[in-house]
Chain A
């Protein structure tokens, strides 16, 4: 398992991972600080969103507490021409790509199904049906190859694709099919599996008998396991394999071993299926605390961490206010964007509902006859 930061914040590069270590050696202090800033923002955002759900302001929240290193490290390793296909827990990756976090909350409040533009952000929409996004990423990466944007040697031009999924999703057939399609097409694709060890209530031990990073090997997709709570491992290994993919090396799989400290969603009760001892064990390996210890040893003082806290409090306040201000969309939104070209049935139904709704507005009665009476 690739690890550069041990749980007590000690930094070291094992000889066998020297190639990844070189990538970390290229990082500047501001990069480490950015990692911390984004990880702490992701945590604070998560805490705020959970509170908003508990107060009835969100229909559901999907916490990612504990997975900050896996997401922020890998997210920052994605190049400016690259493309990201997330599952539905990648709020941290969204932060690394400047996605408006309110767009994520809109979904969870029930305002829309995902309101950002994937072409502009290169961060595709959340996928709720497990594994569907992985085969989309595969097709997209095949398209990158068809476009001649792989292995040209021009780093300004070449592109790669990364897709995120969890340990639970690896059971989906589409992910096995993705390994196959990616391998035979030598697609520029990194499969990034966050093994948070729980698929709702099923532990990873009950879902696979072979380590997940080996899952792609039989299809021709090599893999490696990293300590998913080590942001430096997440960054360096992702960077290396995105670069390789962009340069024509074909697909690769990264299994980031992490832990879902929170519930699967706010509808879940993890006390029914796992022990407090286990949660405590992983809480002691918290990725943010680990990075903080490392940074303090590098001489980063209280003022930086206090400033992060302040910024995060401001962000949380804004998120809160904006969530409260989110209104239900207009009724006609339901009928929009079902098709991009005219469809008589939908137009007819939209028109009927509009007239029906208007019938209540005119005289306040419940007549269905357009208020004419």
Chain B
């Protein structure tokens, strides 16, 4: 009988961080406003009281410095968990992440590991101002040396943050901001899967929708609606954008013959572009229709009053289902 507790994604990440910090005293948490305030989304709330100021501390508002000092701390034997406050604020740290964090292990021929986690709340849907709703995951999935994952539910959030911290490689941990307060059961005893394994969340036979992060809930909603219209939609939570679990996607595509890949990020040169290309290579004769992509438009993330029309919703997914079935 498993020990399960209901919690939000925010609470699940918090609980996962505490487990990792209790398990290994080299785990450090830092970033802007993470200590007394507990982060602007309260993901690190209460950790200061439990672990003290040597384990969790505020950083100056300098993202390159946050990640750069994290590199030095990792070299020293620590396991830094750095928070970037919002997706759009990661770019001052882009140089450190892509030229240093990603490459240190390669540069040193394996002598210097970089067991660092960079937590990033990402995606839109919260009515925010500019730079607070972006989905920059493709930049990092494109960069060799990084691992890029995102949970879509509390159970995954609880376990994947711990798996990311345990990894000897650097992990970009994207947190689905608008789902932070979504509740779900967390199994405190058994991890659901490895952090790079995709999960089939709903079985179907007509078409597969592969989603990750905040779009998983949307895909499940589309499948629910689709069922009422006689569409049998399979939903995959990709969970990992680098590496991508193609085995799970291909198995599904070989069954349904149709694939739609969705995310909030701009669609051009995106994770869905890569999945479409690879699936076309690896399952060409199983496909009944071209792989379709349903993502954000290739424009800067719009002002909040328009974000509903930017973010893919269940209707846009179902429109793609219709198109796919039309071939």
Q: Give Cα A44 to B140, complex, Å.
A: 43
CA distance A144 to B76 in the complex (A): 8
The answer, among A178, A180, A184, A343, for a CB contact under 8 Å with B243, is A343
Task: Determine whether A118 belongs to the interface, using a CB cutoff of 8 Å to chain B.
Answer: yes
Asked if A174 and B68 sit within 8 Å, CB to CB, the answer is yes
The reply to whether A340 and B72 contact each other, CB–CB distance below 8 Å, is no
Residue B108, interface by CB 8 Å: yes
Q: Which residues of A contact B168 (CB under 8 A)?
A: 340-341
A120 to chain B, nearest CB (A): 8
Q: Is B300 interfacial (CB-CB < 8 Å)?
A: no
Do the beta carbons of B73 and A142 come within 8 Å of each other? yes
**With A132-B96, A177-B62, A337-B106 as contacts: A139 and B69 at CB distance below 8 Å:** yes
A143 CB contact (under 8 Å) in B62, B68, B78, B110:
B78
B147 within 8 Å of A (CB atoms)? yes
A139:B60 contact, CB within 8 angstroms? no
Residues facing A in B48-92 (CB within 8 A) are: 54, 59-60, 62, 64-65, 68-78, 92
- Complex contacts, B103 vs chain A, CB 8 Å: 113
Would you give the shortest CB distance from A70 to chain B, in whole angstroms?
A: 23
Which single residue of chain A is at the shortest CB-CB distance from B107? Answer: A113
Which of B71, B74, B106 makes the CB contact (< 8 A) with A135?
Answer: B71
Choose among B62, B74, B111, B167 the residue that contacts A181 (Cβ–Cβ < 8 A): B62
List chain B residues, Cβ under 8 A from A117. 108, 111
What are the residues of chain B within 8 A of A136 when measuring CB–CB?
68-69, 71-72, 75, 100
Which residues of B lie under 8 Å from residue A143 when comparing CB positions? 72-73, 75-78
Determine whether the beta carbon of B144 is less than 8 Å from that of A146: no
Q: Smallest distance from the beta carbon of A191 to chain B beta carbons, Å?
A: 14
Find out whether the CB atom of B65 lies under 8 angstroms from the CB atom of A340: no
Interface string of B97-120 (1 = CB under 8 A from A): 001100101111111110000000
Q: Flag whether A78 is at the interface (Cβ < 8 A).
A: no
A47 at interface (Cβ–Cβ under 8 A)?
A: no
Interface string of A332-357 (1 = CB under 8 A from B): 00001111110111100000000000
Known: A339-B145, A346-B144. A140 touches B111 (CB 8 A): no
The answer, yes or no, to whether A125 is at the interface (CB within 8 Å) is yes
CB-CB contacts below 8 Å: A160-195 with B = 173-174, 177-178, 180-181, 184
B72 touching A139, Cβ below 8 Å: yes
Contacts of B64 in A (CB 8 A): 135, 173-174, 177
Contacts of A340 in B (CB 8 A): 105, 110, 113, 168-169
Residues of A near B111 (CB, < 8 A) are 116-119
Q: What mask results when residues 124 to 163 of chain A are scored 1 for a CB within 8 Å of chain B, else 0?
A: 1100010010011111111110110000000000000000
Known: A113-B106, A129-B95, A337-B105. A135 touches B169 (CB 8 A): no
B68 touches A180 (CB 8 A): no
Chain B contacts for A119, CB-based, 8 A: 111-112
A112 at the B interface (CB under 8 A): yes
Measured between beta carbons, the chain B residues less than 8 angstroms from A132 are 68, 95-96, 99-100
Residues of B with C-beta under 8 A to A144: 76
- Which A303-354 residues have C-beta < 8 A from chain B? 336-341, 343-346
In the complex, the chain A residue whose C-beta lies closest to that of B106 is: A337
Closest B residue to A177 using CB positions:
B65
- CB-defined contacts of A142 to chain B, threshold 8 Å: 69, 72-73
Instruction: Please name the residue on chain B nearest to A145 by beta carbon.
Output: B54
Q: Which of A82-139 contact B (CB under 8 A)?
A: 112-119, 124-125, 129, 132, 135-139
Given that A132-B95, A338-B105 are contacting pairs, would A180 and B65 also be in contact in the complex, using a CB cutoff of 8 Å? yes
Please tell me which one of the listed residues A114, A139, A180 contacts residue B76 in the complex, with CB atoms under 8 A apart.
A139
Do A338 and B108 contact each other (CB < 8 Å), given the known contacts A139-B69, A139-B73, A144-B76?
no
Kindly list chain A residues whose C-beta atoms are within 8 Å of the C-beta of B95.
Answer: 129, 132, 174
CA distance A125 to B70 in the complex (A): 17
Taking CB as reference atom, which chain B residue is nearest A189? B72
A113–B72 CA distance with the chains assembled, in angstroms = 19
Q: A113-B107, A337-B109, A340-B110 are in contact. Are A146 and B78 (CB under 8 A)?
A: yes
Report whether A181 and B65 are in contact in the complex, using a CB–CB cutoff of 8 Å. Answer: yes
Q: 26 A-B pairs, CB-CB below 8 angstroms?
A: A115-B109, A116-B111, A118-B108, A118-B111, A129-B99, A132-B100, A135-B64, A135-B65, A135-B68, A135-B72, A136-B75, A139-B71, A139-B75, A140-B72, A142-B72, A144-B76, A146-B78, A173-B92, A177-B62, A180-B65, A181-B59, A338-B105, A338-B145, A339-B147, A340-B168, A344-B246
A-B contact sample (16 more), CB < 8 A, given A139-B68, A178-B65: A112-B109, A118-B111, A136-B68, A139-B73, A140-B75, A146-B28, A147-B76, A173-B64, A174-B68, A177-B60, A177-B62, A181-B60, A184-B60, A336-B109, A337-B105, A340-B168
